Amino acid sequence: MTTRARGMDHGHYPFSPLPARPALGWPNGARVAFWVLLHLEYWELDPPQEAVRDARFVSEFGNFFPDYRTWSQREYGNRVGIFRILEVLDRHRIKATVAANAAACTRYPFLVGECRRRGYEFTAHGSHATRMITSRMTESEERAAIAESIAAVARAAGSKPTGWLGQDFGETERTPRLLAEAGLDYVMDWANDDQPYRMTVGRPFVAIPGQLELDDIQLFWIRRVNTWRYPDLVDEAFATLHEEGAASGRSFGLSLHPWLFGMAQRIRYLDEALRRLAAYRDVWQTTAGDIAAWYLQQSSGRKP
């Protein structure tokens, strides 16, 4: 019989209770580092047989093939919905982080150009919305998938990305190490904190947690929360972090999918939520990459 030691069940990072940490400072004394994550994804109509996709995303009419309904719904986001979101982000002068998968970078050069024109940051996001990284992959297969995604984003965006978001948060036990070995600085798959933290992967590398419960898919698609509640939920969460951030800085990330929040009946609630957040002072509106760079610089003298 194997006996397991008490404590953490992996070596990716040590346990770090929030009250025991040194105070975290953001630029210009900001209480909260606020970032918006915009998804740019391609959903395959006919994915390879070996591909693994999130089982929660099946047509409401059944898991049939080919699933034109789900495919066309995702395409609505790239043809129409994303422009509503871009308009709202422009109105509030938001510089977004774009999670772009390799296929989207190839198929939607117009959308890539719109994001580049706005000075958005690009982060690598796998290959397709229908292909998660899972433990079915060998290490060499996973390493190649990571490299393909990074290269595609670099070609489209004009510079190598510094961060990673797994498709549907898919990872293996070795993913953080492989990301660091690929030269990346941060990952957004770990939603277990309100502050960034260093991971133990052999080189400086940071996890940037987001507010997973406020992700539009989690709210509207999985949990069926009424969209009109979104501004209140965002405001309540932000108010708490802003108050706590007076003692030690907090991070607040909103994750948006154009096929969902870009719908005509939903977009007004994104606008209202951002309008409320704009009323707060001492907020650093930035990108995930800038948060990672600042945190790594500030924590360079600390143990990971």
Give the Cα separation of 222 and 58 in Å (integer).
11
Give the pLDDT band of residue 163 (cuts 50, 70, 90).
Answer: very high
Give the Cα separation of 251 and 264 in Å (integer).
29
pLDDT at 249: 96
The two tokens of residue 66 are 């080919």
Give the pLDDT band of residue 113 (cuts 50, 70, 90).
Answer: very high
Query: Strand, coil or helix: what is 257?
Result: coil
Q: What is the pTM (predicted TM-score) of this model?
A: 0.90
- Cis before residue 66, ω within 30 degrees of 0? yes
The domains of the chain are located at 27-44+67-298
Look over the chain and give the mean of its residue pLDDT values, rounded to a whole number: 89
Query: Strand, coil or helix: what is 98?
Result: strand
Give the architecture (CATH level 2) of 27-44+67-298: Alpha-Beta Barrel (3.20)
CA distances from 252 to 45, 63, 211, 214 (A): 34, 35, 7, 10
Q: Give per-residue pLDDT as tens, 140-158.
A: 888 999 999 999 999 999 9
In the chain, the percentage of residues whose pLDDT exceeds 90 is 68
* Distance, CA of 3 to chain centre: 36
Q: Residues near 130 by Cβ (< 8 Å), separated by ≥ 6?
A: 43, 44, 47, 51, 53
